[in-house]
Structure 1
């Protein structure tokens, strides 16, 4: 990739900042509150946080034809439509936290190195069509905001 878009590079900075905020919010919760699924909900705080890592990797790496950089079973536990009620293993906040904080740097380094040479067009659930890795990086911020809002709402119920 010869042209690094300034808006995409800025998005990585925003992603790091919002991830720091999210981690601080979840760090402040008692352990049990991170994994409590309130009545009427399908997921908990930990799932929402892990879902962010899984989605970032899927939108950016997966649709670029590159392997995701996640532990075995992570995507199947945290992808859209899943629930912790169906997990075959328990994930820890430490595992998810480490991914949330480290992935943006790795992704930006790969972007700067030009690893994202191709991209398979994808229509997101809200109907946004992604046609490039730049689109995916920018859309990912919107997605992060949705789930940060979900975590803030869940925190009021379980924290």
Structure 2
């Protein structure tokens, strides 16, 4: 499901041009921000669990929960590239000890399996946001 959900997110933006990816209808965070946010959150878990993964400087703040998506966003290729790298790290982790505790921010721990399962929920949540943004931009429905 990790691979399926990552592929699904990528498929949601295949037919979108740069202007559409960066559009902010009704002041909403753009599609490119949604993908970047998922990529950064996934990368954070991969790193916390010991996967070697670099997140470009400034991306943690740019794609933080609650950020508006305003300002300069990186290129599509860079954002999708991080999503793929982070997903590869999570897939590798899914073959590890799922009961292993992982530190959460801020404080506390959860089992790795919980954290991986939460990523599926998180990706679905942002897929829904992307579908709303697509509709507001006049793009065709891709799901349901």
For the residues of structure 1 that align with 2:59 and 2:81, how far apart are their CA atoms?
A: 13
Q: Which has the higher contact order (CA 8 A, sep 6+)?
A: 1
For the residues of structure 2 that align with 1:145 and 1:33, how far apart are their CA atoms?
A: 20
Equivalence for 1:33: 20
Equivalence for 1:74: 59
For the residues of structure 1 that align with 2:21 and 2:52, how far apart are their CA atoms?
A: 29
Q: 1:48 aligns with which of 34, 51, 57?
A: 34
Taking a change above 3 Å as real, the CA distance of residues 98 and 67 of structure 1, as seen in their structure-2 partners, is closer
Q: Does 1:144 align with 2:127?
A: no
Q: Which consecutive residues of structure 1, in runs of 5 or more, have no partner in the other structure?
A: 1-13, 124-128
TM-score of the pair, normalised by structure 2? 0.78
Q: Does 1:18 align with 2:9?
A: no
Equivalence for 1:90: 73
Q: Which consecutive residues of structure 2, in runs of 5 or more, have no partner in the other structure?
A: 140-144
User: Deviations 1:129-158 (Å, cap 9, x if unpaired)?
Assistant: 961111100111001000000001101112
Cα RMSD of the aligned pairs, angstroms, is 2.7
Equivalence for 2:132: 153
TM-score of the pair, normalised by structure 1? 0.72
* Number of matched pairs: 136
Q: 2:43 aligns with which of 57, 63, 67?
A: 57
Is the 8 Å Cα contact of residues 121 and 132 (structure 1) preserved in structure 2? no
Taking a change above 3 Å as real, the CA distance of residues 25 and 65 of structure 1, as seen in their structure-2 partners, is closer
Aligned-residue offset at 1:110: 4.8
